[in-house]
Amino acid sequence: MDCYTANWNPLGDSAFYRKYELYSMDWDLKEELRDCLVAAAPYGGPIALLRNPWRKEKAASIRPVLEIYSASGLPLASLLWKSGPVVSLGWSAEEELLCVQEDGVVLVYGLHGDFRRHFSMGNEVLQNRVLDARIFHTEFGSGLAILTGAHRFTLSANVGDLKLRRMPEVPGLQSAPSCWTTLCQDRVAHILLAVGPDLYLLDHAACSAVTLPGLAPGVSSFLQMAISFTYRHLALFTDTGYIWMGTASLKEKLCEFNCNIRAPPKQMVWCSRPRSKERAVVVAWERRLMVVGDAPESIQFVLDEDSYLVPELDGVRIFSRSTHEFLHEVPVASEEIFKIASMAPGALLLEAQKEYEKESQKADEYLREIQELGQLTQAVQQCIEAAGHEHRPDMQKSLLRAASFGKCFLDKFPPDSFVRMCQDLRVLNAIRDYHIGIPLTYSQYKQLTIQVLLDRLVLRRLYPLAIQICEYLRLPEVQGVSRILAHWACYKVQQKDVSDEDVARAINQKLGDTPGVSYSDIAARAYGCGRTELAIKLLEYEPRSGEQVPLLLKMKRSKLALSKAIESGDTDLVFTVLLHLKNELNRGDFFMTLRNQPMALSLYRQFCKHQELETLKDLYNQDDNHQELGSFHIRASYAAEERIEGRVAALQTAADAFYKAKNEFAAKATEDQMRLLRLQRRLEDELGGHFVDLSLHDTVTTLILGGHSKRAEQLARDFRIPDKRLWWLKLTALADLEDWEELEKFSKSKKSPIGYLPFVEICMKQHNKYEAKKYASRVGPEQKVKALLLVGDVAQAADVAIEHRNEAELSLVLSHCTGATDGATADKIQRARAQAQKK
């Protein structure tokens, strides 16, 4: 264990720092790091290098090369820079490379050098040029701050949703600040800058001077600033060689260290671990690296090569031409287990497991000692936690074996933490591999989350590894494998050296009916890449027509979209395509397209009936559909025309159409309606009142009610209304008028074609029994019983029923014998039935 701690360096009495190698870099750089613009993404992200010829006037004509490498030094992309001079490089949270040019234009590239987009930081930046830039990260996304040649700051808190904010002017600022950085306070981005011995804080509204609490006297200039990874702490390097460390709010001082070096450092970054009370800053000069904190002494390393520092959540990455290392504070669990002469439970358990493998009895002694102190559970937890913070797989295995050994002697130790740690370490070891090049620590992995890690593997086109991790961790298919396969398919359609048929077949064979995969999204990507035919082939595999049709319309394949919409049976979808076709095609082509699709034509007709009547008429004319055309003119005569002449003209057109359709009945009925309209207009002129638009029956009834019976009879003769119907109409109208005298005259005018039972029923409906009895006597024998019952003469009805010897009539009379007075009548019927049965 003492050999294992050989690279541990104490900083004060409470913390150790260690530096270990992540990778041996084989990237064969053609330039020194000092001659390049360098940007390295956090969380084990990629490294971008751009040789900076703009610093050397003689070499300004040489076009530099933008190179992107993985953290292990494997090349990811290389492209010749053909745009303007670049001032700064930086990575967004989505691992997009931001290249800030001198004219304020920011070019955005993907991990593989593919151009994504560009945006400008405004006209003021364009006019005054960019002196310096900072890319920073907040909870809202990746931000960008610009210092212009006019010594003004422009800031955007989120480059994904660009909203430029011009910061207030610093009074009396005539030259560039000696150093500056971005702070995030109360969810708002601020600028902190140093001008000589003075510090200024810029927010969206004002510029305010600030004073550092407890700063050593004699400072005439600040040379370097560093904000911590979490934006909670701030460090400043002064020209007196002092490093002031405090909170980012500038209200509290943590410590101050005199490094006895007054030369400005190349870089200064924070090196702290989450939930640790220790705070340390790493300062780099040409050939020296110093770790300082709240301790009188510092840790110093010699740099053999030009190096670059990358601040991380729990440490600092340091890379050079030949190596890539990680410097961090030793976690508490590791310190307690591996510290020399440690008697911590985890240290004893690790020794016990080693002795057990040697088959030594000391294993039992160590184990008993832990159990007597009741610290076995704590020992297992320490070993599990320490395993997570180890980079070497052999040490991880050793600690996990110790934890597994200790678990055997515990009755109720939950296995979840052990199993989860084994899974996490297997994932971490896989992505730390040299060929993958993502050196995440356990703390970074937990902060990043598995979903973001999978996104980054997909971004690097490491689809097999991403799928293996999903299957190993048993992630839900929609969140895991399906999502990755969809990304793979979107990448596949960009391979233009493969034929459309082969790409579509390969995607379908790989994806099949995988849940959560949308072929329409993949087809949209293919269309975006200019591969329209491939997009159409991919849409054939999309089971949801609602996803197919919008993209087909976007690709201007409207007729195919119409066919797909009709196949789906979704009328709303068909209407969407029809309206799109109507706007896209000329009228003739549109109608011809509809003729080839009967269902679409029928739906469009329904639409036109409510929205576009003239278009509907054109459709009928084009199809020579005279029957529907006649119906259209009939509806139009009532919907659009108010004048009788206009209606008659429209009806005449309808009648002509019906004759062409060989529908003589409809044509004759239309002509009758025309005659009726003319007659109704004449009646209104002569008699007054309202007749137009009444039906023939209502017209007759209105005439009778108005006392114009002769006219009603003449109208009935003109339109050949049957006598039975006319009698019914007259009977109903006279009863409504309660003109009983006229009704009686009418009943005696000639023999009733409808009989006299309706007279009885109508009179009883008007509650006039007296009049009803007059007509009951005139009812024929077959309806006599019913008429007598209607007027309430049950006894006479019984006599008639007995005389007729009709069982149905007898039963009908019996059903009306409800009161006590009808008892004799009921008995008479029963006796008549009995005599009939004897005979």
pLDDT per residue as tens digits for the range 630-659: 767 667 677 655 677 777 777 777 787 777
Instruction: Report the alpha-carbon distance of residue 545 to residue 579 in Å, rounded.
Output: 17
Show Cβ contacts of residue 595 under 8 Å, excluding neighbours closer than 6 positions. 601, 623
Highest mean pLDDT among 56-65, 178-187, 397-406: 397-406
**Is the alpha carbon torsion for 772, 773, 775, 776 positive or negative?**
positive
Q: Which CATH superfamily is domain 31-211 in?
A: YVTN repeat-like/Quinoprotein amine dehydrogenase (2.130.10.10)
Instruction: Name which of 115, 89, 113, 112 is nearest 100 in CA terms.
Output: 89
* Tens digits of residue pLDDT in 556-575: 777 787 777 777 777 777 77
Show Cβ contacts of residue 81 under 8 Å, excluding neighbours closer than 6 positions. 50, 63, 64, 65, 66
* Tens digits of residue pLDDT in 777-805: 777 777 776 777 777 667 676 777 677 76
Q: Which helix (H) or strand (E) holds 109?
A: strand 105-109
* pTM of the entire predicted model: 0.74
**Is the alpha carbon torsion for 341, 347, 352, 355 positive or negative?**
negative
CATH class label, 1-19+212-330: mainly beta
pLDDT at 406 over 50: yes
Instruction: Report the alpha-carbon distance of residue 322 to residue 28 in Å, rounded.
Output: 9
Beta bridge partners of 222: 238
The answer to whether domain 1-19+212-330 and domain 31-211 are alike in fold is no
Q: Which residues of 91-115 are buried (b: 16+ CB within 10 A; e: fewer)?
A: bbbbbbbbbbbbbbbbbbbbbeeee
Q: Is 220 helix (H, G, I), strand (E, B) or coil?
A: coil
Instruction: Name which of 224, 106, 90, 201 is nearest 153 in CA terms.
Output: 201
* Tens digits of residue pLDDT in 416-473: 999 999 999 999 999 999 999 999 999 999 999 999 999 999 999 999 999 999 999 9
Residue in the block written with tokens 């190179």: 67
pLDDT at 511: 83
Instruction: Name which of 364, 366, 398 is nearest 384 in CA terms.
Output: 398
Mean pLDDT of 384-394: 95
Instruction: Report the alpha-carbon distance of residue 228 to residue 237 in Å, rounded.
Output: 14
Instruction: Name which of 164, 162, 141 is nearest 152 in CA terms.
Output: 164
Mean pLDDT of 534-548: 80
Rg (Cα) of the chain, in Å, rounded? 49
pLDDT at 1: 45
pLDDT at 331 over 70: yes
DSSP state letters, 545-605: HHHHHHHHHHTT-HHHHHHHHHHHT-HHHHHHHHHHHHHHS-HHHHHHHHHT-HHHHHHHH
11 vs 810, higher pLDDT: 11
Q: Where are the domains of the chain?
A: 1-19+212-330, 31-211, 484-543
pLDDT at 112 over 70: yes
Show Cβ contacts of residue 696 under 8 Å, excluding neighbours closer than 6 positions. 676, 715, 719, 721
The residue type of 45 is G
Beta bridge partners of 319: 308, 324
Instruction: Name which of 260, 266, 322 is nearest 289 in CA terms.
Output: 266
Mean pLDDT of 5-23: 92
Percent of the chain at pLDDT > 90 equals: 45
The residue type of 823 is G
Instruction: Report the alpha-carbon distance of residue 316 to residue 318 in Å, rounded.
Output: 6
Instruction: Report the alpha-carbon distance of residue 494 to residue 395 in Å, rounded.
Output: 43
pLDDT at 424: 96
Mean pLDDT of 212-238: 93
Show Cβ contacts of residue 308 under 8 Å, excluding neighbours closer than 6 positions. 33, 38, 40, 267, 318, 319, 320
pLDDT at 835: 66
Q: Which helix (H) or strand (E) holds 785?
A: helix 781-790
Which tokens in the block code for residue 96?
């997009």
Asked whether the beta carbons of 13 and 335 are under 8 A apart, the reply is: no
Which pLDDT band, with edges at 50, 70 and 90, does 57 fall under? Answer: very low
Mean pLDDT of 471-497: 87
Q: Is 280 helix (H, G, I), strand (E, B) or coil?
A: strand
